[in-house]
Amino acid sequence: MSKKKGKTSSKRKTSLVKKYLKTCKKKLKKMGTTGIIKAFAPYVILGYFGNKVSLAYRLAEENEFIIRLMNGLANINAAFKSVLPSFHWKDLCIGILAGVAFRLVVYYKIKNAKKYRTGVEYGSARWGTGKDIEPFVDWEDPDNNIILTKTESLRMAGRPDNPVYERNKNVLVIGGSGSGKTRFFVKPNIMQLHSSYVITDPTGNPYIKEKMDLDIQVSKLKLLKANHTSQRYRMEDDIAVKYPAQITALKGKIEGLKVDIGLYNAQKPEDPEQFKMTVAGKTFEDRKEAGTAIIAMCREIKGWNTATEIGEYMGMPMLASFDAFTNRFTVALKGSLSHEVDIGLDPSGNITRINNMLEGMGKKLEEAVTKLDNVEHQLETAKVEVKKPFAQEGELNEKLSRLSELNALLNMDEKGDSPLAMDEAIPSASKISVKQQIADNKTIVSQMGQKVIGLDGPKFAKGVAIGLE
């Protein structure tokens, strides 16, 4: 079998090569001598120049590529001393590559070029003819087509000789009720029998369309309920952990700020010009000297991220530290809370920043009180919101109940049940009467000595059996 397959594949390859060569001969014959010269002359000329440039490059003596190429182009006249091309294998390869590359560029441009109807006025569109649709139709096997109109079809399976004529097989038919969509399009294409078919007709049973709509609505409601449940769990976590922790921290901050503000107001001199700061055990009354002493103490810090006490100001100890991550020195006044400020190279500016930080404690207290009120309000709001049920719970339950009914009617959950029994159940008495009537008819025919033969009898009988059961 493998030998046979190898032979068949080799035969196919040889046949394709022969076919391609035959097509090329036809095209060349059609072009004529003049047409061939015009078509290939640009590529031959470019290949010739590529050959000469390669020769000039070889004649240059430098080692580096760029310098060698520039010198070769500067002395290109040496390569053109002979009109004939260079027959060195490198020069021949470069020339051929140049011509082929140029041909590929031209091919790419032609393939992606916009198609214009030259010599034809704008807006002069026309209806397609049989010649236009011909490449898209499988004329060898008419059953292998999608029927579009009485005269137009579209190849269904297989591939055309030219891939340009391959088309998408999806068809959308739009028409009003009774316009013949089923009669004149669906049924004729089903009768082509060129594929496997899965056919649904939602308009034939309203339950199917209702179920499709309900599935979408229930999915949206379930998503909304999942979001509501997720928000409720998040609010429960906020009520139990987040908001109480924030309230405790803010209350502690407010109490600490009140104590530090009271200490600052008690130590603050009445005269703004008075100043007193202790640094390294020495008391300074000059701001610049105190700022210089702070800078000197910061430079003596050896550890990273460790606070070192360097003095006292406004009744609060001063702690200096170096932040290795941000590469900066900080000084913190330690009261009930720690109040930090960055230290720069300006001595007076450092003292000014420390005083501004102390003056800003009142504003920090106001912000903390406002934030505490907001967090307490959020906590109360969350306690109310977490008790609210899903607003569309009733609608969801109603749609789920209806969806279950539709699934039961459509026998979606039961295997083996006939989908033809989707309508109202036939009363048992009517079943018996119809069966009895069929049996009586068969008895009468058999008594007459005739066979029960009818148009498509077995299929009809099977359909009756399915409909009755």
Which one has a higher pLDDT value, 309 or 76? 309
How confident is the model at residue 167, as a pLDDT? 84
How confident is the model at residue 243, as a pLDDT? 92
Q: Helices (DSSP H) in 320-427: which residue ranges?
A: 347-359, 361-385, 393-409
Q: Which of 95-109, 136-150, 454-468 has the lowest mean pLDDT?
A: 454-468
Distance CA 443, CA 453 (A): 14
How confident is the model at residue 375, as a pLDDT? 92
Which one has a higher pLDDT value, 74 or 279? 279
How confident is the model at residue 204, as a pLDDT? 61
CA angle 354, 317, 262 (to 5 degrees): 70
> Rounded to 10 degrees, what is the CA torsion of 348, 349, 353, 355?
20
Q: Using 50, 70 and 90 to split pLDDT, how confident is the model at 228? A: very high
How confident is the model at residue 239, as a pLDDT? 92
Instruction: Report, as an integer, the average pLDDT of 246-258.
Output: 92
- pLDDT 10s digits, 378-423: 999 999 999 999 999 999 999 999 989 888 887 744 444 444 444 4
Q: What is the mean pLDDT of the chain?
A: 78
How confident is the model at residue 367, as a pLDDT? 93
- pLDDT 10s digits, 76-118: 777 787 888 888 888 888 888 988 888 888 888 877 766 666 6
Amino acid in position 351: I
Query: Is 60 exceeded by the pLDDT of residue 28?
Result: yes
Instruction: Report, as an integer, the average pLDDT of 236-240.
Output: 92
Q: Which residues pair with 308 in a beta bridge?
A: 320
Q: How remote is the C-alpha of 99 from its chain's centroid? A: 42
pTM: 0.45
Query: Is 50 exceeded by the pLDDT of residue 217?
Result: yes
Instruction: Report, as an integer, the average pLDDT of 4-25.
Output: 69
Instruction: Report, as an integer, the average pLDDT of 448-452.
Output: 37
How confident is the model at residue 451, as a pLDDT? 35
How confident is the model at residue 151, as a pLDDT? 84
Q: Which of 109-123, 175-189, 255-269, 285-299 has the lowest mean pLDDT?
A: 109-123
Query: Is 70 exceeded by the pLDDT of residue 452?
Result: no
Pairing between strand 145-147 and 153-155?
A: antiparallel
Instruction: Report, as an integer, the average pLDDT of 274-296.
Output: 88
Among 280, 294, 281, 290, smallest CA distance to 341 is for: 294
- pLDDT 10s digits, 333-390: 888 888 888 888 888 888 899 889 988 998 999 999 999 999 999 999 999 999 999 9
Which one has a higher pLDDT value, 7 or 123? 123
> Rounded to 10 degrees, what is the CA torsion of 10, 13, 15, 18?
-130
Query: Is 80 exceeded by the pLDDT of residue 331?
Result: yes
Range ranked top by mean pLDDT from 40-44, 160-164, 241-245:
241-245
Among 402, 399, 420, 400, smallest CA distance to 410 is for: 420
